[in-house]
Amino acid sequence: MTDQAARLVVLVSGSGTNLQALLDAADEPGYGAEIVAVGADRTGIEGLDRAARAGVPTFVERLPDHPDRASWDAALAERIAVHKPDLVVCAGFMKIIGRPTLDAFPVVNTHPALLPSFPGAHGVRDALAYGVRVTGCTVMFADAGVDTGPIIAQATVPVLDGDDERELHERIKVVERALLVETIGRMAREGWSVTGRKVRLGA
């Protein structure tokens, strides 16, 4: 642990509830991290407004403004690099992160299921359809795949009789926000190491 707060760039695509949880946590003494910028892939979203209200610099890099995905990937990495982050956090960012960013920075993402079960865009729906009695959320490092990176932390959420996708997802989101805040704080304060697929927090 050092006295220097870890620098976070947070990426959002929507309302930014996970971002807000991180903003609130970063205001607490001893959390160990500060949000130095918030990036988005679209304009007019509440996530950007949350950052602006907190006085955090923002940037937008829209995919339609580029001739192809590769040029967008490169541009996003360049925009992130300006802020010299120690960690990049995807907080409801609805784009797969490309190699230029993954190769330059550790990128943390969340998923509303207990990976490796139910990856992809419909993790909550798929868990319900399968009939599991317990699901949850995962905080992991992003890699070039879809929800395939090394797992950092997980938390469980029971599936209740009568749950529909919306109800279950809302309960998962509450747990996911808390897990993300706790995990990023520990990474900032204690550091981490990765051996193969195993992530260890702390020195």
The per-residue pLDDT for 4 is: 86
Q: Coil, strand, or helix at residue 96? A: coil
- Between CA 89 and CA 94 the distance in angstroms is 12
- Between CA 203 and CA 190 the distance in angstroms is 6
Per-residue pLDDT reduced to its tens digit, 49-59: 999 999 999 99
The per-residue pLDDT for 203 is: 66
Contacts of 114 (CB under 8 A, 6+ apart): 134, 135, 136, 137, 138, 154, 156
Q: Is the pLDDT of residue 175 over 50?
A: yes
Instruction: Tell me the pLDDT band of 1, cut-offs 50, 70 and 90.
Output: very low
169 among known catalytic residues: no
Per-residue pLDDT reduced to its tens digit, 83-125: 999 999 999 999 999 999 999 999 999 999 999 999 999 999 9
User: One of 83, 111, 122, 169 is an active-site residue; which one?
Assistant: 111
Per-residue pLDDT reduced to its tens digit, 118-160: 999 999 999 999 999 999 999 999 999 999 999 999 999 999 9
Report in angstroms the alpha-carbon separations of 82 from 39, 85, 117: 12, 8, 36
The alpha carbon of 56 is separated from its chain's Cα centroid by a whole number of angstroms, namely 17
Instruction: Tell me the pLDDT band of 168, cut-offs 50, 70 and 90.
Output: very high
Per-residue pLDDT reduced to its tens digit, 18-30: 999 999 999 999 9
